[in-house]
Amino acid sequence: MEDPKDVKQDFQVLEYFAGCARIATVAHHCGYQSAAHEIDFGASKSKRSGRPSAMDLNSNAGFVIAIKLVLRSKFNAVVAVFAICCSSFVPVNRGTGQRDILVPEGDESVVSVRKANKLVCRILGPFAADIS
């Protein structure tokens, strides 16, 4: 997988919340132009600078980078995989997050719930018109 700054071609496979970037790596080995976006990819630079990771989709910089990856992809020829951290949405976390069928957004005073809600809005926001 190549560094997104060095790539001149359009992307065909994008992996967000990549973890160890398995999907992007396999796509690259199959000949597709791919990129992975993961908060941990910017962690070392973040620790040195004392600023939030530029790969964090909850930060402005991370969201801009994510959008730029989409804008650099092939029109009607891109696969984007979004694998958000689901720990805030699982039944085991109901006691902390207070998510319920009647209150799907949960307890917004809990930081992890607030961050998870923001990520879902940023991912699903452009598609909200298609859902309704």
**Domain edges within the chain:** 1-83, 86-126
pTM exceeding the 0.75 threshold for the entire prediction: no
Q: If phi over 0 gives left and psi between -120 and 50 gives alpha, with beta otherwise, what is residue 98?
A: left
Residue-wise pLDDT tens digits, 12-68: 888 887 677 888 889 999 999 888 887 777 677 777 877 777 777 777 888 888 888
CB 16 within 8 A of CB 5: no
- Angstrom CA distances, 115 to 8, 24, 57, 97, 106, stand at 33, 25, 10, 11, 11
Mean pLDDT value of segment 80-92: 73
Query: Per mean pLDDT, which range of 10-14, 84-88, 100-104 is the poorest?
Result: 84-88
Q: Residue 110: helix, strand or coil by DSSP?
A: coil
When pLDDT is averaged across residues 6-13 and rounded to a whole number, the result is 71
What is the average pLDDT across 77-92?
Answer: 75
Question: Which pLDDT band, with edges at 50, 70 and 90, does 110 fall under?
Answer: confident
23 vs 84, residue with greater confidence: 23
